[in-house]
A and B are shown apart, each in its own frame.
Chain A
Amino acid sequence: MNNPQLNKNGELQHLLSTEGLPASILFSILDRAAGFIEEAKDSEIRKVPLLQGKSVFNIFFENSTRTRTTFEIAAKRLSADVINLNIGSSSTSKGETLLDTVDNLCAMHADMFVVRHGQAGAVHLIARHVAPNIHVINAGDGRHAHPTQALLDMYTIRHYKKEFHNLRVAIVGDVLHSRVARSQIHALTTLGVPELRVIAPKTLLPAEVEKLGVHVYHDMAQGLQDVDVIMMLRLQNERMQGALLPSAQEYFKSYGLTQDKLALARPDAIVMHPGPMNRGIEIDSSVADGSHSVILPQVTYGIAVRMAVMSMLAGV
């Protein structure tokens, strides 16, 4: 099966998922991002002309102010023209199909699409459909993938831990519904993390999750023992419906990250969260704001990582 993200020469054509990408590509994105961060440090001017004259369309079928904004900032720092479209479900409710919408936007001479959609696979469908000169970045599709989030997480881990091959990493929370977790798992296994754990109740884990290369824990105390990196996941409020969990309080008791539980990890462990956080549900405020937390640096690195992905796709 051809990897739809790579062109004939094995170069990145679209960024749809962290799955199936060679470590060399992941590392070159991280290196490139490091370059942008280094440049910004030395200079008052944050803007580079790499994408001058190019049009980046942010197409969000699902609302997200935060992710859209970071993509917008990244594109603007690369000097691209940015067009934001919050489509929500409006055009589909008017009877326009997803591919009709995409055709219309292609006709407006887009060079790059940044797409978020509620359905897993929607971004693959778009990538298969567009002309070869258009690049597509997945900004989150259903429960499937959110590759730029995972890449900025990798950047953060590399920044604090330098290497991947000696790490013990735990992902905690609603893996079942999380596109972030799936993208993190693929990226971490590709980059050579030798021990990757997921910690969650059975109702929040997908079938055969161990086949993705993770060790499953249901007990947080056991799962956090001696880990170097703790990656928390957001718990959506609607998970209290559908008989997945009894209450937010009970979830916090078993799976919320508190100082006591954090103490089981390595003394130099870092705590990450993709945002937005639910304080008191998956993470205690004292941990979120504490010395182990790298949650705000994650956001900062997110811009450089998205600049790296966009410029790499544009071939500049």
Chain B
Amino acid sequence: MKIHIKSGRLIDPKNGIDAQQDLYIASGRVVAVGAAPAGFSANQVIDATGLVVMPGLIDLAARLREPGYEYKATLESEMDAAVAGGVTGMACPPDTEPPLDEPGLVEMLKHRARQLNLAHLYPVGALTQELQGNELTEMTELHDAGCIAFSQADAPLTDTRVLMRAMQYAATFGYTVWLRPQDSFLARDGVAHDGEVATRLGLPSIPVCAETIALSTMLRLARVTGARLHICRISSAEGVDMVRSAKREGLPLTCDVSMNHAHLSEMDIGFFDSQCHLIPPLRGLRDRDALRAGLLDGTIDAMCSNHSPVDDDAKQLPFAEAEAGATGLELLLPLTLKWMEQAGLALSDALTRVTTQPARILGLDAGHLSVGRAADICVLDPEQYWKVEPAALKSQGKNTPFLGMELRGKVRYTLVNGQIVYKSV
């Protein structure tokens, strides 16, 4: 299959390209940029006039709910959602049922994903057995099975000695440890930021120090153990400051933020909108502004969807009882554009946070369109507005705080390994 994507605005941040250039694909790879290689005869021509041709997005956190939560979503439905959102690769947290703590489960998941032949799936293995925080998992076995990092997802790891040993062990083999900082005692029973809104609504709350105290432990242990640390879903201004200082010191540290937190705050909870029941909690406006500033200055390396499909029955409950989470794969690109617009950024610059930077965090040669690279491509209509509503979403999870909003940016084609896996009608 040979594909010629012509007349589009090619944006490839890694190679510094932002110009109208054609792209040529053969045998699943990019074979030429600009002029056609000699003797190239396309089986298919995609006319990208007025469209943006860019690397497919790489999402650092997408829960596909398999195995174990198939009533919420399946690999099929969420892979469809991914490619409809221009996402061609995604890291999947280990908090499935059972958790990804055995090589067999990881192999099965990879196998199922390969069969579907849609986006690339990068499993994040469990750091401790059953995510219980007591015993280490077989990290080298899990790594060989395809795990790209190790994490506790949102499960607590209260025993600091276990955390230290897990980081030491991971550091032995050069594996990255992904951790979301939250002290589980301080966060106990909490469902909202410990601020004005939770006070007004009478919701049990989670203070900022739940994040900063855990983060301080993690940073200290990263220094001691030499483990490469990736901080997941940072949520507070103080947390961003701590990451900024640690990076300045030269700690091998990366950090991501969820797109929901880059755009929303506790104020969006309004009158108990359970769509805004998220993990971590949406914090104050000052925190949200600090997250955006951190994303802008590179303290926060990447933005992820934190895709967590939740069914209606689990959402239509009083705020605290409603399940936390929101669908996100199909919103990551529009919300990157929205941030870009508000931050006054160039498109190619904004896109690094969802392409080259997540690829770097994952240690992958991906997120760019160099000749010879797998053709994982998104063709975007940056001017098309669309309304976020259940019927517009492929994901089985129809719940998101952005429901009812008009967003800019619609994916027209998604290619994975040079195959057109999504085309909008």
Contact = CB atoms under 8 A, between A and B. Distances in A.
B71 interface: no
Contacts of B318: 98, 117, 119-122, 125, 141-142
A196 B198 CA distance: 20
A107 interface: no
B319 A121 contact: yes
Interface stretch (A29-37, A208-216, A276-284): A208-216
Contacts of A122: 318
B199 A207 contact: yes
Given A1-B270, A124-B272, A206 B317 contact: no
A168 interface: no
B203 interface: yes
Given A120-B203, A120-B319, A207 B198 contact: yes
Given A120-B319, A121-B319, A145-B202, A4 B196 contact: no
Nearest to B205: A207
Contact of B207 (A4, A120, A144, A207): A207
A125 B196 contact: no
Contacts of B141: none
A182 interface: yes
B272 A125 contact: yes
Contacts of B321: 119
Given A98-B318, A121-B274, 6 more contacts: A119-B319, A120-B318, A121-B201, A125-B317, A142-B318, A207-B198
Given A119-B321, A120-B320, A212 B195 contact: no
A143 interface: yes
B194 interface: yes
Nearest to B191: A120
Contacts of B274: 121
A19 interface: yes
A91 interface: no
A211 B194 CA distance: 13
25 contacts: A1-B270, A97-B316, A98-B317, A98-B318, A119-B319, A120-B202, A120-B272, A120-B318, A121-B201, A121-B203, A121-B271, A121-B274, A121-B319, A121-B320, A122-B318, A125-B317, A143-B203, A182-B202, A206-B199, A207-B194, A207-B196, A208-B195, A208-B196, A211-B199, A212-B199
Interface in B196-225: 196, 198-205, 207
Contacts of B207: 207
A261 B331 CA distance: 59
Interface of B: 194-196, 198-205, 207, 270-272, 274, 313, 316-321
Contacts of B317: 97-98, 125
B313 A179 contact: no
Given A98-B318, A208-B196, A124 B202 contact: no
A283 B196 CA distance: 29
A40 interface: no
A240 interface: no
Contacts of A121: 201, 203, 271-272, 274, 318-320
A98 B317 CA distance: 7
Contacts of B195: 207-208
A244 interface: no
A254 B401 CA distance: 44
Contacts of A145: 202
A99 interface: yes
A225 B203 CA distance: 31
A212 B272 CA distance: 18
Contacts of A211: 196, 199
B322 to A, nearest CB: 9
A206 B316 CA distance: 26
Contact of A124 (B198, B204, B271): B271
Contact of A179 (B202, B270, B316, B319): B202
B200 A182 contact: yes
A144 B201 contact: yes
A145 B204 CA distance: 14
B222 to A, nearest CB: 30
B264 to A, nearest CB: 14
Contact of B316 (A99, A117, A143, A208): A99
